[in-house]
Amino acid sequence: MSLRTHACGQLRVSDAGKEVVLSGWVDSFRVAGKISFLTVRDRTGTTQVFLNAALTDHCKHLQKESVVQVFGKVNKRPEKQINPAMHTGEVEVEAQRVEILSLAEAPLPIEIREETTTSLDKRLDYRFLDFRRERVKAIFMIRSKIYTAFVHALEKHGFIQVALPKITESGVESGAEEFKIPYFGKTASLAQSPQIYKQMFVVSGLERVFEIGPVFRAEKSHTTRHLTEFTGIDFEMGFIESEEEVMRMAENVIHDVWAEVKEKAKEELQILGKEITVPTIPFPRVSLHELRKVLAAKGKIIPEDDDPDAAAEIMIGEYIKEKYHHDFVFALDYPFTKRPFYHMRPADDPSVTKSFDLIYRGVEIGTGAQREHRVDVLRQQCELKGLDLDKLPAYRDIFRYGAPPHGGIGLGMDRIVNLMLELGNVREGIPLPRDPDRLTP
């Protein structure tokens, strides 16, 4: 038998007269003479419970966040006692029995109030308590809906979800940011990207694949947007003519995701006081060369062989918002010196790549490109990077037996959540973030 018949946020006037069983955490306990009022909370909301003198005495040792089971009858509140701030504010439960399932210790190590003054670092130490705040819970309900919306959008466009390895040989990506781990007498790495495997399964005949999963970077960055473990949203598609098809797919997927979240997370967005603007299609497209000129006019110089830094991306976001009234921009034509060897180069200008960054509200949230599928050209581009393709046989062999032109993009889920909800720090939108200083809980 379940410990409850109804959820705490479920009861309405239509339930008056029903015998119910509620279970949840003590949100508040207020004694008024010989009687008392208990507010019980679960993830759906709260219900006020009336306790008579005997039950008040029984519950006198209750502390906030203790777990209780309440047996009682639903009553309609008198007009003057209705609380419009609660979904259940027109009713209360008259308790007949209260079982104390777990007593909480006092004091609590962090504040559970919505307007807490507890630091983020301290809240992360006690994340399981922090999640009991309605605002925090709303963030992660929305995050779950963002994940689901990406799956819906990608499947709608014919992509097949694949589960790809996270323990790999050191390989295609730069070794400088790899987490090395012992592996039965060998040295393995935690995957920095599913890149090699995305391409493998496009070439396998699946043609369109995606994965939403963990990515690891041994990057000693202490910013509000960097992590050592994050969630990547990666897709790859075959039989493309150019990187433009990848950009069109990305903007269509993002449009669909934002629209679904706007529709399905109304209550959570209201709790956070946020509105989602569904982006118009197409997104602006501006070459990196043009953006450098815009930045230079504002006093920010980006060398020709370098990428925009965080400050430059913010300025780009402001420029795009002012000129195009848009939150997104594809920055095009990144130099080959700053891109991996497997990014295709245009025949008319081999100094750049057929790649792009996607910037959202002044922060890069993704990188995409058309990949080089011709094994002879891949070999040449490896040599230009000081690499030997034959030392990457698992990657080389993908292209030896018939590989269609293809491309894709990798997006950062955590940055998307942070920027969409304007949280101010990527760690606010991750249950248990990992950075150079945090390995627990």
Mean pLDDT for 428-434 is 98
Q: How far apart are the C-alpha atoms of 94 and 79, rounded to whole Å?
A: 17
- The tokens for 305 are 């062989």
Mean pLDDT for 115-140 is 97
Give me the percent of the chain exceeding a pLDDT of 90: 94
Q: What does the mean pLDDT of the chain come to?
A: 96
Q: How far apart are the C-alpha atoms of 231 and 213, rounded to whole Å?
A: 5
Report the range of poorest mean pLDDT among 165-174, 269-278, 374-383.
Answer: 165-174
- The fold adopted by the segment(s) 13-102 is OB fold (Dihydrolipoamide Acetyltransferase, E2P) (2.40.50)
Which tens digits make up the pLDDT trace of 64-119?
999 999 999 999 999 999 999 999 999 999 999 999 999 999 999 999 988 899 99
Strands 406-412 vs 363-370: parallel, antiparallel or unpaired = antiparallel
Rounded to a whole number of angstroms, the distance between the first and last alpha carbons of the chain is: 33
CA distances from 281 to 24, 157, 253, 295 (A): 45, 16, 11, 25
Report the range of poorest mean pLDDT among 213-227, 321-335, 346-360.
Answer: 213-227
Which residue positions form the known binding site for Mg(2+)? Answer: 364, 367
Mean pLDDT for 382-405 is 96
Mean pLDDT for 128-150 is 98
Please check whether residue 401 is in contact with residue 349, taking contact to mean a CB–CB distance below 8 angstroms: no
Amino acid at 374: R
Q: What are phi and psi of 141, to 5 degrees?
A: -65, -40
Which residue positions form the known binding site? Answer: 173, 217-219, 225-227, 364, 367, 371, 412-415
The answer on pLDDT for 1 being more than 80 is no
Predicted pLDDT at 282? 98
In 3D space, the residue among 140, 119, 120 whose CA is nearest the CA of residue 131 turns out to be: 140
Please check whether residue 277 is in contact with residue 327, taking contact to mean a CB–CB distance below 8 angstroms: yes
CA distances from 131 to 123, 417, 423 (A): 9, 16, 15
Predicted pLDDT at 112? 93
Which residues sit opposite 36 in a β-bridge?
Answer: 31, 51
- Residues sharing a CB contact under 8 Å with residue 309, sequence separation 6 or more, in sequence order: 302
Which residue positions form the known binding site for L-aspartate? Answer: 173, 217, 367, 371
Which residue positions form the known binding site for ATP? Answer: 217-219, 225-227, 364, 412-415
How far is C-alpha 213 from the chain's CA centre? 11
Which tens digits make up the pLDDT trace of 286-332?
999 999 999 999 999 988 878 899 999 999 999 999 999 999 999 99
How far is C-alpha 420 from the chain's CA centre? 10
Mean pLDDT for 125-129 is 98
Give me the percent of the chain exceeding a pLDDT of 70: 98
Q: What are phi and psi of 157, to 5 degrees?
A: -95, 15
- Three-state DSSP at 196 gives helix
Which tens digits make up the pLDDT trace of 165-212?
999 987 556 556 899 999 999 999 999 999 999 999 999 999 999 999
- The tokens for 255 are 């449009």
Q: Domain coordinates of the chain in residue numbers?
A: 13-102, 127-429
Predicted pLDDT at 221? 87
- Residues sharing a CB contact under 8 Å with residue 118, sequence separation 6 or more, in sequence order: 110, 111
- Three-state DSSP at 11 gives coil
Mean pLDDT for 32-60 is 97
- The fold adopted by the segment(s) 127-429 is BirA Bifunctional Protein; domain 2 (3.30.930)
